Chains A and B, each alone.
Chain A
Amino acid sequence: MEKWPDNKAWLLVLPVFVIVAFSAIIPLLTVINYSVQDIFGPGQSVFVGVDWFREMLQDYRLREALWRQFLFSGLVLIIEIPLGVLIALAMPKRGWKASAALVTLALPLLIPWNTIGTIWIIFTRPDIGLLGAVINNLLGIPFDHTASPLDAWITVMLMEVWHWTPLVALLAYSGLRAIPEAYYQAARIDGASAWSTFLYVQLPKMRGVLTIAFLLRFMDSFLIYAEPFVLTGGGPGNSTTFLSLYLVKIALLQFDLGPGAAFSLIYFIIVLLFSFIFYQALQRVGKGETV
């Protein structure tokens, strides 16, 4: 028997390994490397252990940004998931109306993220923006996201809901369309109301796609950067400075690579941890058929 079998099969795995190495492993290792050093310049660095982690965890601005981030993602999930399901339920089931609705719904998803921020800056301007002018001049309510933190939050939330609810709606719609007609007939024959049909047929049948929608919206909203960066730049004050905005400030604007890297790792672990917790929890809710 041959002691060393032909190992050429490894060559087939190599491309994947190389891609993953460059796209994930090497950058991650670089970040870990930065996070434990104090870097003064090229080739000048000192090993500092977990000092940066300690410093970052004690940074009150980071904590504030973290709570802001949880509030933001929480609101996003609470608003977008039910709203997306409602839209999906109200959409036409077939024919040209269904196609028209789908295209219209998908439009916000096709716009570059920076452009979205710009659109909303103009849209909410008190002097010339359609929404801003109507609120300020017609309704007589002072509304300015550059001045009031609350107005800034409302604007960011509106923008986020407008931008991403269509994704939830599209996913929910695909889940709804996959339910065979016979389920609805059976529910009608049983005498079930529209609400019971929703609760016992549609919702359980959408469980799979809604789990995906929930996780996607959690991760994306937790990592949000471009739109608030363009719209509010994190202000007024720090009121809309989310984690990613604060991270960029530390790592790129102040060029503190060590603390920035430690921050990135903490950020990464939080996202990973919560995605895992949510996934586990959603697996247990209304345990039934995965669509």
Chain B
Amino acid sequence: MGLTLKDVDKVVGREIYLKDINLHLEPGSRNVILGRTLAGKTTLLRIMAGLDRPGRGRIRVGEKDVTGVSVRKRNVAMVYQQFINYPSLSVFNNIASPLKLAGLKKDEISRRVNETAAMLHIEDLLDRLPAELSGGQQQRVAIARALVRETDLLLMDEPLVNLDYKLREELRIELQEIFVRGRAIVVYTTTEPTEALMLGGNVIVMDEGRILQTGPTPEVYRHPASIRVAEVFSDPPINFLKGTVASGSVQIGERMTIPLLGHLRALGDGAYTFGARSNHLFLTPNNEDDVKIPARVELTEINGSETFIHARYDDFRLVVQEKGVRHVAIGSDIDIYVNPAGFFAYDADGILAAAPA
């Protein structure tokens, strides 16, 4: 059964938490809500779960209106940022708790708990108490508790954010496999574009309580419909260059004139903002169409496999993402190469005017 949200608002006091939320989630789909902190992701999840009532609007499961139906009567499961387990119950009883409350038979409970525990590789920990487990193991137990019920709706509120890098990678890959196997609608929130891309499925980009764009994740990544979507869906931050289109070329700053090529030819005269992700900027030319941006280095960050070079051209701050460890002196002048064929062009209202095919 699909989940539909129609014109959902949530206002607390004078603060708008959610505004004009319209969504339809297909049965068995994977949906990643991508947005910064305070974008309204958790509020939206709580309303989907039935923990909170929307201020306005309707929520339907299949054809049935469930607006205002208590969470106890819904078929949902949720995993939180914090590792939430019953402290005095063993891992087995923790995973079994929703099944016991649902009144299942003993051998059925034991079969399903063992099955789910094996899926999350915690079958050897069933006799332990949550406090005796590591953070990653505790979150595995919480995820198992959510999965064991085989609910129609599985909500995950940044479940990996409190884990260290290695565990996060590991669990993310496992979750992907589990999601593909299940038949529940999965809704997963994250602040990280990379995580959204890795999990695949559909993405719902949110900012300030509104949905900015929805669609299959790679498509949204390749065609961010507005400047705000491009900002939310880029890490490191996307580079913006403001320019003016006139008589077949673009003037950017004082020292750069770029001929209009490819998809950019469709642009009419006027002011535009051009976006290019940092992995499209290079320190060496790759293509005869590349344009050269003269810039001054302000900062470099090295994370081992990549180097981020922060530089400035006129008033534009640019980040170049280069593979490997690069040493560039701070304050030195460099040339940054970028192919305009990859530019997103946004009009004065911040709406996508032209994107590479």
Contact = CB atoms under 8 A, between A and B. Distances in A.
A290 B131 CA distance: 9
A9 B205 CA distance: 62
B84 interface: yes
Interface string A175-199: 0000010110110111110001000
Given A189-B77, A190-B98, A288-B130, A205 B51 contact: no
Given A188-B51, A287-B129, A183 B98 contact: no
B293 interface: no
B82 A180 contact: yes
B132 to A, nearest CB: 9
A189 B129 contact: no
B105 interface: no
A204 B51 contact: no
A207 B72 CA distance: 27
Contacts of B81: 182
For chain A, which range describes its interface: under 10, 10 to 19, 20 to 34, or 35 or more residues? 20 to 34
Contacts of B77: 189
B109 interface: no
B43 interface: no
Contacts of B97: 190, 192, 200
Contacts of B130: 288-289
Contacts of B78: 185-186, 189
Contacts of B129: 287-289
A31 interface: no
Chain A interface main SS type: helix
Given A189-B51, A190-B101, A288-B130, A204 B87 contact: yes
Given A189-B51, A189-B78, A200 B71 contact: no
B76 interface: yes
Nearest to B131: A289
Interface in B84-98: 84, 86-89, 97-98
A24 B129 CA distance: 40
A181 to B, nearest CB: 10
A287 B89 CA distance: 9
Nearest to A193: B101
Contacts of A286: 88
A250 interface: no
Given A189-B76, A287-B129, A182 B101 contact: no
A289 B130 CA distance: 8
A196 B93 CA distance: 13
Contacts of B76: 189
A230 interface: no
B102 interface: yes
A200 B98 CA distance: 13
Interface of A: 180, 182-183, 185-186, 188-192, 196, 200-201, 203-205, 207, 286-290
4 tightest A-B CB contacts, nearest first? A288-B87, A204-B88, A204-B87, A288-B88
Interface of B: 46, 49, 51, 71-72, 76-78, 80-82, 84, 86-89, 97-98, 101-102, 129-131, 145
Given A188-B71, A189-B49, A207-B87, 5 more contacts: A182-B82, A189-B72, A191-B98, A205-B87, A207-B88
